[in-house]
Amino acid sequence: MTVDHRAFRNALGCFATGVTVVTTLDGDGHPVGLTVSSFTSLSLDPALVLFCLDRGSQNFEAFTTSGRFAINVLRESQRDLSTRFAMSQGDRFSGIPFETWDTGAPVLPGSLATLDCLTETIQDGGDHVILIGRVQRAAGERTGDPLIYHAGAYRSLSAPADES
């Protein structure tokens, strides 16, 4: 049985996701990054996370050979970064300040959370690969709203979280 691709994409779009910018360094040591919503935690012990990368990405080689990456979880106020790093052309880092932590992967200051990772393994995932990273350093703030994507559009949290 063949699944209709449009129906499949529409069904997946019903799942609200946070928005991240995943970064690494290319073979020449230049920062590269892209907007990713297919990110999740995998394990607490050891601390592992994963994200999925399209095999057709212009940054495919950089991410699959660098041995490191950083996940930058964006705030609602960082929508411009999401849009910039979703572009397929141009230098996404032009004029964008960044830091480096333990692995040397670029870290975007002001992100809601950041996970600095060494690539643990890369798994086949059809037209994508699944990059699993061992977290070397993590930081996050429990204040501020995350940037959310749902049904093909950015969304906002409508009510404060229950603190109980």
Q: What parts of the chain have a pLDDT lower than 70?
A: 158-164
Say if 94 falls within a structural domain.
yes
Q: What range does the domain containing 111 cover?
A: 19-143
| Alpha carbon distances (Å) from 85 to 6, 11, 137 | 25, 25, 23
Say if 68 falls within a structural domain.
yes
| Alpha carbon distances (Å) from 66 to 1, 7, 81, 118, 125 | 38, 35, 22, 9, 19
> What is the model's pLDDT at position 162?
54
Say if 12 falls within a structural domain.
no
Say if 11 falls within a structural domain.
no
CATH code, domain with 68: 2.30.110.10
> What is the model's pLDDT at position 161?
52
pTM score: 0.91
> What is the model's pLDDT at position 122?
98
Say if 5 falls within a structural domain.
no
Domain total of the chain = 1
**What does the longest C-alpha to C-alpha distance in the chain come to?**
49
Say if 8 falls within a structural domain.
no
Say if 77 falls within a structural domain.
yes
> What is the model's pLDDT at position 109?
96
